[in-house]
Chain A
Amino acid sequence: MARTRDALPPMTALEDAAPVFSLLGTTAALLEAPGPAMDLPRQQRIWALAQLARHWPEVQEAVPGMNNLMLTFKQAPRDIDSLRERLVLAWAEVTPLPLQGRVIELPVVYGGEGGPHMADVVAHTGLGVDDIVALHSAPLYPVYALGSHPGYCYLGGMDPRIATPRRQAPVLRIPGGSVSIGGFQTGVSASPGPSGWNTIGSTQMCFFDPTQAMPALLQPGDSIRFRVEKVIR
């Protein structure tokens, strides 16, 4: 019976370890790329796998995460083991899908009232505010996936030197436009709400409009660049 963390033996020379399949109750299953690292080649494999699996009969939605893929079920399949085998095989065989979309630039005010956890990132990384701002605003961040809340983008490519663990307990409300760091990831909240991440700055942009046929401003493959508007120390 597929109960938890059923890692299968390696199936391809492309990866040195098998992906990890697990259950989210009877509602969904999760496939995670092997290893703790997070990179674009694996994400392109996740995008390809999502395009394939969304057409499977038992699948309601195929939702990319950060180097992982969630499949929600129309109805929970009776034979979960065969789904797991099909998914792991597809991961090994799929051709990575390079997506390249548009680039948007977001002006950011770092620190101050809009960046209440900058001090925590300073304390954890041992870096100064200017270094953190420079490292954070340098990359062109590809959108790996959408999630968390309507229009929110998970970004790849953050400099690991400013990685800071998620907070001990989530903050009940951060404002929309909050720029924050959670572990090795960074992102911008699209609306006010709870968050377990460290907020280091703020920006303004409408990321989601439910009246549009494509309600989210960005999709996987698009990119974000953060421009330093101001640093409040």
Chain B
Amino acid sequence: MIEVLRTGALNTVQDLGRYGCLGWGVGTSGAMDNLALSAGNILLGNAPGCAALEVQVFPLRLRFLADCDFALTGADADAQLDDLPLLPWASHSARAGQVLRLGLPDVAALYRSRAYLCLPGGVDVPMVLNSRSTQLRGAFGGLAGRALKTGDVLRAAQARCDGAALALLPPELALPLHCEGSPAVRVLPAAEYDCYTAASQASLWQSEWTITPQSDRYGFRLTGQALQPKVPLEMRSHGIVPGVIQVPPDGQPIVQMRDAQPTGGYPKIGTVIEADLWRLGQMPIGSRIRFLETGWDEALHAQAQLQGWLADVQGQVQLQQGRRGRA
């Protein structure tokens, strides 16, 4: 059991998302950095999709009420267990009474803004409509359908893990993606791409986009050179997914993120591919990013690369479990 001593607003329990409920208007939710969540779970010997705490507002202080293993991935938030600094992207053990503190992430260093605290067996909250992710709009899932607050108690499904004492090379370093010095994400053109002026299509790919403060788990509102359709577009509402880049009439794009609505009606100029959505999910407000045009086969290859990276992490953990078994 873990007591929340201090938390910012909007830190939530997330897993890899809620699937199968779009037809009821329920979006997927899920970790903004699904790669970090999966890796943290694998470090503990959990299934990759176990529920974890997503920390996006710092500082956070937690007290372990019983001995408990845990893993930290995602943003390097200057974590300390009592006075002991902790390695990021690693698994650790706490004794009853110890206090875990996450400070402010060094966002400039690696463009990371969200940390994940994984627990053995996952955070023990009820499964609602096939997922433990917090559905903020519907006020269900996660911890009572809301963000964490001071005084809450989190439970791990198990006290001990079957993982490995390992530290990982963060995927930002293992799988970097930049364009002319700026962090980049790959984009597949979407239905209305051809409806935009040639100048707007060019600036989508060739100019920098800044993530504005009006950005959250629902969507990242970007600012840059306004994107202009050749003629004004009024769409019928249709299904959308996280990653879709909508363009409202003011021309400033909005990238749908994990809490995105499952439908929308603004024109879509492109979609950030699923394989790069974790990168965007880690980019802090104020970041300047670039979009790289990609194709179907390249996007599938990027997805396979991520699966390969996770398989490699799984392999490292199993190797150490094997060594421990022989010792």
Contacts and interface: CB of A to CB of B under 8 A. Distances in A.
Nearest to B187: A25
B230 interface: no
Nearest to A37: B236
Contact of A27 (B141, B189, B234, B274): B274
B20 A26 contact: no
B238 A150 contact: no
- By DSSP majority rule, is chain A's interface helix, strand, loop, or mixed? loop
Residue of A38, A210, A216 with highest tally of chain B CB at under 10 A: A210
A208 B24 contact: yes
Interface residues of B, number: 59
* A interface residue count range (under 10 / 10 to 19 / 20 to 34 / 35 or more): 35 or more
B234 A166 contact: yes
A23 B248 contact: no
Contact of B239 (A20, A70, A76, A172): A70
Interface in A100-130: none
A185 interface: yes
B193 A66 contact: no
A27 B189 CA distance: 13
A70 B264 CA distance: 12
A23 B22 CA distance: 17
Given A4-B190, A72-B241, A183 B299 contact: no
Contact of B191 (A22, A183, A215): A22
Please report whether the interface of chain B is mostly helix, strand, loop or mixed according to DSSP: loop
Given A24-B244, A166-B234, A216-B24, A63 B193 contact: no
A3 B298 CA distance: 12
Interface stretch (B82-90, B165-173, B265-273): B265-273
A193 interface: yes
A65 interface: yes
A142 B264 CA distance: 19
B140 interface: yes
A210 B296 contact: no
A73 to B, nearest CB: 9
A29 B115 CA distance: 31
Given A66-B238, A72-B241, A78 B274 contact: no
A58 interface: no
B293 to A, nearest CB: 9
A79 B213 CA distance: 39
A149 B24 CA distance: 8
A24 B52 CA distance: 27
Contacts of B238: 30, 32, 65-66, 68, 70
15 contacts: A3-B295, A4-B193, A24-B241, A24-B243, A26-B275, A36-B236, A60-B19, A68-B236, A70-B239, A152-B25, A165-B249, A169-B248, A208-B25, A208-B138, A216-B24
Interface of B: 19-27, 128-129, 135, 137-141, 188-191, 193-194, 214, 218, 232, 234-244, 248-250, 252, 261-266, 268, 271-275, 295-297, 299-300, 303
Given A23-B296, A60-B19, 15 more contacts: A3-B295, A23-B188, A25-B241, A26-B299, A27-B243, A27-B274, A65-B236, A70-B241, A76-B303, A80-B296, A146-B23, A147-B25, A149-B27, A149-B137, A150-B24
CB-based closest 7 A-B pairs: A70-B239, A147-B263, A25-B271, A22-B191, A65-B238, A150-B138, A66-B236
